[in-house]
Amino acid sequence: MDTTAGKQAGNKETMTVATSVQYLKGVGPARAEVFGKLGVQTVGDLLEYFPRDWVFAPGPIKIAQMQAEEAATIIGLVESVDFQSYRRPPIFEAIVSDETGVCRIVWFNGGYLRNQIRLGQVIVASGKPNVFKHQLQLTNPKFMMVDPQQTAEPDKHFSGGIYPASGRLSSRQIKQIILPVLDHLDELVDEFYDPSVLKENHLIGRKDAFAWIHMPPDEQKLDAAKRRLRYDELFLMQLGLGLRRYRTQHSASATPCLFTDEIDSRIRRRFPFLLTDDQNACIAEIAEDMGRTTPMNRLLQGDVGSGKTVVALYAALLAIAHKTQVAIMAPTEILASQHFLSIERYLKDSQVRRVLITGGLAGKKRDELLARIKQGEMDIVVGTVALLQKDIEFRHLGLVVIDEQHKFGVHQRAELRKDSAPHCLVMTATPIPRTLAMTAFGDLDVSVIKQCPPGRGQVVTRWVDPRNRRQAYEFIRERLRAKKQAYFVYPRISSVEETSKEIAAATDAWQDLSEKVFPEFRVALLHGQMPSAEKQRIMTGFRKGTIDVLVSTVVVEVGVDVPNATIMVIEAADRFGLAQLHQLRGRIGRGESKSYCLLFAETDNEAARSRLEVMAKTNDGFEIAEQDLRIRGPGELFSARQHGLPDLKIANIVDDFDLLVVARRHAFEVVSRDPTLAQPEHRNIRRALLAKFGNSLGLADVA
């Protein structure tokens, strides 16, 4: 679409997609405000305000041609009206005629029509006739009153889109505003592709697509319109990802960190175990990337406990071997500390200089530490988003490792690379379905660890009815007596009343568990609002075994590694998403002992029950991720907040996966031929891409 703003007026000569909807016939300032709340500011937005459903009304026929049970649209003169209030239900009746006959029309509970349908008016009615007292009649049809001089194509008023409406703007009113705009599609809509591309991909023209999405002549044309507009949306999104990927690879050179047998053996001596085949394969891919001057941009995904940290540390040591620094960023202080402890364990007595930075570091100590980082006297810097603060400067940043990417936005990822071009390794323990990997992470290469290291205990998951709580507590008590440890996880820190049902809360449960249920054991409380030092003290106690039961919120969701913890109790488990449940379960089964995950939940909610059944059935994170996508749909998973991409208006990355694959291939071909979209044939695509995804994908340089 052409986004050039014209004079903002709704006449033929000046309407553009940038024209404010306020200037369209039937809108004005008040309705423009209502449209604004629906996300519609301009004519372009209005054209992309797609219907939620469609109706196909037949063309008009004469009354004498009507057949019982065959849908019909008629135009006639209202000869009489009668409201029969004494009937149960009350009936409003109109007798309508044309030159061929007479038809009775009735509306049950139709008292509201007394001021709408009057004698002598012309009515268009559409419905399925039925026989009553040997006469055809229409019952509760769709209808509208029309000017006797303007009865052409009356079926248009019933056919076409049904729009998402608001209390102040009905679907019919929206449609009446959109229909005249469709007469201007020649000026408003530009084609993106040449005829050969349309033919090859079985796509209709873009103008036809907009005409038919709002007013489809039939179901086949509607399907063709949907396919074209979905393709365009997926193509533009993939094009943006392709351009971002190209820019990352070509904007600046990274320091090549070449793999050698000597460096490899020195790094592997740090690990007191053999790596799995999957870990070795991922290391090979990462080492190949890091050996180039093109900055690595790779996603390492592996299930909970699969050994991603070891792979990331290998990459870090490869970077350090080439005299560069490494930044490792985690979403929480607990996870950052956990990474730092793991690194300390592997790098004990090594010459690698490493430090942990958290939000609590301040004053002279902080200034001294930042000076050492700036002078290159620190090799590995581990921290939270605190690493993004402007006063933290690296002398020579060679590698950035970002853990739990879904907790960070795309823009935060870019922030660490703003002044240099380090290699970038993004990690996630939330396995990403292939569809999301191609969209939300479409500008990254992907490495996958599916195997878990040997020596990991089996994890058994049970969905427990709260009525069986006492037996469950006895089972847990036996495990605690055997010197094992347990997590109890709650959705809230403190009690909250919601729909008259109290939500399980960690602080209340801690008191109950420590005083009444397990008084003979050491029970501690952990949640995100505690001071950092207190959180660290409690986690250290749990890790060392001086705490038996840790009562917590989801602050333990990722990265916490206590091999002796073999029980995970999740209260109100129906309130957690599948990915989160799987992450929490990943805190156990990290040692050799058999572990147990108990999901306490009582719910009639179908989606919640589906989640709990999936959890009890499988431990495979990739299968769980696919199920999560099916249950929740892409809307929640594929959000701007998480991934830096806008929501799609008409495409669905699950249902339209085959189309996504084709659109991605096409988009990446365009980027390889014309990485700045400067060629004349790409002008319309460039304009549309900037209008649609420019801000969210950070494509200002393309402008």
Q: Which pLDDT score is estimated for 454?
A: 74
- Give yes or no for residue 4 having a pLDDT over 50: no
The token pair at 424 is: 């970038």
Q: Stretch 251-273: mean pLDDT, rounded?
A: 92
Give tens-digit pLDDT for 308-324. Answer: 889 999 999 999 999 99
Alpha-carbon distance 567 to 587, whole Å? Answer: 9
Confidence of residue 499 (pLDDT cuts 50, 70, 90): very low
| pLDDT value of residue 580 | 84
Confidence band, pLDDT 50/70/90 cuts, at residue 381: very high
pLDDT confidence band for 64 (50 / 70 / 90): very high
Pairwise CA distance, residues 483 & 544, whole Å: 12
What pLDDT score does 252 carry? 79
Starting from the edge strand earliest in sequence, which strands make up the sheet with 549-552, in order? Answer: 459-464, 595-600, 565-570, 485-489, 549-552, 523-526
The DSSP code sequence of 544-595 is HTS-SEEEE-GGGSSS---TTEEEEEETTGGGS-HHHHHHHHTTSS-SSS-E
Distance CA 135, CA 128 (A): 14
Segment 106-110 long-range contacts (CB within 8 Å, at least 24 positions apart): 106/137, 106/138, 106/139, 106/140, 107/139, 107/140, 108/139, 108/140, 110/83
Q: Does the pLDDT value for residue 420 go beyond 50?
A: yes
Write the CB contacts of 450 (distance below 8 Å, at least 6 apart in sequence).
278, 302, 303, 306, 622
Strand pairing category for 297-302 and 445-449? parallel
Distances 273 to 127, 309, 346, 524 between C-alpha atoms, Å? 75, 14, 11, 33
Binning pLDDT at 50, 70 and 90, where does residue 337 land?
A: confident
Measured CA distances, 87 to 91, 96, 104, 110, 112 (Å): 7, 21, 17, 11, 15
End-to-end CA distance of the chain: 16
| pLDDT tens per residue, range 91-111 | 999 999 999 999 999 999 999
Structure tokens at 303: 């299930």
pLDDT at 145 over 90: no
For residue 683, the model assigns a pLDDT of 92
Tell me what pLDDT residue 311 has.
Answer: 95
Convert the pLDDT of each residue in 589-598 to its tens digit: 888 889 999 9
Does the pLDDT value for residue 642 go beyond 70? Answer: no
Residue 409, CA atoms < 13 Å, CB-side half-sphere: 13
Give me the pLDDT at residue 692, please: 80
425 phi/psi in degrees, rounded to 5: -120, 120
pLDDT band at 247 (very low <50, low <70, confident <90, very high): confident
Report residue 513: phi and psi, to 5°: -65, -40
Average predicted confidence (pLDDT) for the chain: 85
Q: What is the mean pLDDT of residues 257-273?
A: 94
Kindly indicate the confidence band of residue 644, based on its pLDDT and cuts at 50, 70 and 90.
Answer: very low
Q: For 353, phi and psi rounded to 5 degrees? A: -90, 125
pLDDT higher than threshold 50 for residue 476: yes
**Whether pLDDT at 530 is above 70:** yes
264 contact partners, CB below 8 Å, separation of at least 6: none
Q: Is the peptide bond before 89 cis (omega within 30 degrees of 0)?
A: yes
Percent of the residues in the chain that have a pLDDT greater than 90, as a whole number: 51
pLDDT for 399 equals 95
Top-confidence residue, 533 or 20 = 20
Instruction: Assess whether pLDDT exceeds 80 at residue 161.
Output: yes
pLDDT band at 227 (very low <50, low <70, confident <90, very high): very high
